[in-house]
Amino acid sequence: MSDASRTAPPLAFPEAARRAVANAQVRANVRLAQNAIRAKRASVVGELRDWEALRDAGAAIKRDALARLDELLAQLETSVHDAGGQVHWARDANEANAVVVGLVQQTGAREVVKVKSLLTDEIGLNVALADAGIEALETDLAELICQLADERPSHLLVPAIHKNRREIRDLFRERLGRPDLADEPGELAEAARAHLRAAFLRAGVGISGANFAVAETGTVCVVESEGNGRMCTSLPQTLITVMGIEKTIPAWQDLEVFLQLLPRSATGERMNPYTSLWTGVFPGDGPQEFHLVLVDAGRTRALADPVGRDALRCIRCAACIHVCPVYRQVGGHAYHSVYAGPIGAILQPQLSGERGQPGSLPFASSLCGACGDVCPVRIDIPRLLVHERERVNAAQSARRETVPLQAIGRAFASPKRYERAQRLARALQRLVVSDGWFVRFPGPLAGWGRSRDLPAVPRETFREWWRRERGA
Partner 1 sequence: MNAAREEMLARVRAATADVVLQDLPPVPRDYVRRGGRSRREVVELFSRRVADYRAEVALLAEKYLGRPLKEIDLSAMLRDLVQGATKYGIEIPTDFMMVGKALMTLEGIGKQLDPDLDVFGDGTVVVKSAPGHTPGHQVLFVKLPKRGPVVLAGDLYHYPEERATGRTPTFEFNAEQSAVSRKKIEAFVKQNKAELWIEHDIATHAKLPKAPAFIE
How many Cα atoms within 13 Å fall on the side-chain side of residue 142? 18
Contact residue for partner 1 among 289, 296, 310, 388 (CB under 8 A): 296
What residues from 320 to 349 belong to the interface with partner 1 (CB under 8 A)? Answer: none
**69 lines the binding site for partner 1 (CB under 8 A):** yes
For residue 70, the minimal CB distance to partner 1 (Å) is 4
For residue 375, the minimal CB distance to partner 1 (Å) is 17
Stretch that binds partner 1, among 296-304, 335-343, 442-450, 460-468 (CB under 8 A): 296-304
Residue 421 CA to residue 442 CA, distance in Å, equals 17
**214 lines the binding site for partner 1 (CB under 8 A):** no
Contact residue for partner 1 among 155, 162, 195, 309 (CB under 8 A): 309
What residues from 74 to 103 belong to the interface with partner 1 (CB under 8 A)? Answer: 74, 88-91, 95, 99
**294 lines the binding site for partner 1 (CB under 8 A):** yes
**303 lines the binding site for partner 1 (CB under 8 A):** yes
Where b means 16+ CB within 10 Å and e means fewer, 258-280 reads bbbbbbbbbbbbeebebbbbbbb
Closest CA to 208 of 96, 312, 292: 292
Which residues lie below 8 Å from residue 262, measured CB to CB, with a gap of 6+? Answer: 211, 223, 272, 315, 317, 376
Residue 244 CA to residue 210 CA, distance in Å, equals 8
For residue 379, the minimal CB distance to partner 1 (Å) is 17
For partner 1, the closer of residues 88 and 247 by Cβ is 88
**73 lines the binding site for partner 1 (CB under 8 A):** yes
For residue 269, the minimal CB distance to partner 1 (Å) is 14
Stretch that binds partner 1, among 21-29, 282-290, 299-307, 458-466 (CB under 8 A): 299-307
# of chain residues touching partner 1 (CB under 8 A) = 35
For residue 123, the minimal CB distance to partner 1 (Å) is 14
**300 lines the binding site for partner 1 (CB under 8 A):** yes
Binding mask 45-64 for partner 1 (x = CB under 8 A): ----xx--xx-xx--xx-xx
Residue 50 CA to residue 376 CA, distance in Å, equals 12
For partner 1, the closer of residues 151 and 246 by Cβ is 246
Contact residue for partner 1 among 68, 423, 440, 463 (CB under 8 A): 68
**378 lines the binding site for partner 1 (CB under 8 A):** no
What residues from 12 to 51 belong to the interface with partner 1 (CB under 8 A)? Answer: 49-50
274, 241 Cβ separation under 8 angstroms:
no
- Bridge partners (DSSP) of residue 89 are 294
**132 lines the binding site for partner 1 (CB under 8 A):** no
Q: Please tell me whether residue 269 adopts helix, strand or coil conformation.
A: coil
Closest CA to 129 of 146, 142, 145, 147: 147
For residue 305, the minimal CB distance to partner 1 (Å) is 8
For residue 220, the minimal CB distance to partner 1 (Å) is 18
Which residues lie below 8 Å from residue 315, measured CB to CB, with a gap of 6+? Answer: 58, 62, 211, 212, 258, 261, 262, 265, 376, 377
DSSP string, 166-226: HHHHHHHHHHSS-TT--S-HHHHHHHHHHHHHHHHHH-SEEEE--SEEETTTTEEEEEESS
**257 lines the binding site for partner 1 (CB under 8 A):** yes
Between strands 238-244 and 135-138, the pairing is unpaired
Stretch that binds partner 1, among 253-261, 318-326, 345-353, 397-405 (CB under 8 A): 253-261
The radius of gyration of the chain from alpha carbons, rounded to an integer in Å, stands at 27
For residue 116, the minimal CB distance to partner 1 (Å) is 22
For residue 45, the minimal CB distance to partner 1 (Å) is 13
For residue 75, the minimal CB distance to partner 1 (Å) is 12
For partner 1, the closer of residues 19 and 270 by Cβ is 270
Phi and psi at residue 291, to the nearest 5°: -120, 130
**184 lines the binding site for partner 1 (CB under 8 A):** no
Stretch that binds partner 1, among 215-223, 301-309, 394-402, 443-451 (CB under 8 A): 301-309
For residue 186, the minimal CB distance to partner 1 (Å) is 15
How many Cα atoms within 13 Å fall on the side-chain side of residue 229? 24
Q: What share of the chain is helix, strand, coil (3-state, %, to 5)?
A: 55, 10, 30
Q: Please tell me whether residue 291 adopts helix, strand or coil conformation.
A: strand
For partner 1, the closer of residues 174 and 256 by Cβ is 256
Q: Please tell me whether residue 452 adopts helix, strand or coil conformation.
A: coil
Phi and psi at residue 363, to the nearest 5°: -90, -5
For residue 387, the minimal CB distance to partner 1 (Å) is 16
140, 116 Cβ separation under 8 angstroms:
yes
What are the residues binding partner 1 (CB under 8 A)?
49-50, 53-54, 56-57, 60-61, 63-64, 66-70, 73-74, 88-91, 95, 99, 245, 256-257, 260, 294, 296, 300-301, 303-304, 306, 309
